[in-house]
Amino acid sequence: MSSVAKYLGADLLLALYIQPKASRDQVMGLHGAEIKLAITAPPVDGKANAHVRKLLAKLFQVSQSQVSLHKGELSRHKQVLIKAPFVIPAEFSEFVQKKESES
């Protein structure tokens, strides 16, 4: 399993590098040991964090309450936990391997 994305039971933990105030929302690829995510929201008053949660919830087809900020509230370097993701979007498929069955 890649260090940028790992399963914790049924949940998925993503290591992200956030680029705020981008022209559009998109997954940019790897940035060191993190997935670079460009977002349109500014890094002001928690708007970027809320936008990241909303975007990931939409991409992984889960509710926003299933997406939580694990680490990095005031940093561009974030760890986001997605509880029981329904699908792995194409943009993340190269970083997230299918969950191996555990005993």
pTM of the model: 0.88
In this predicted structure, the answer to whether residue 100 has a pLDDT above a threshold of 80 is no
Rounded to an integer, the average pLDDT of 43-58 is 96
Instruction: Using the predicted structure, report yes or no on whether residue 92 has a pLDDT greater than 80.
Output: yes
Q: What pLDDT score does 101 carry?
A: 43
The residue-averaged pLDDT of 86-93 equals: 90
User: Please, what are the domains in the chain?
Assistant: 5-79 (3.30.1200.10)
**Coil, helix or strand at residue 16:** strand
- Is residue 34 within 8 Å of residue 17, measured between CB atoms? yes
Place of tokens 């939580």: 68
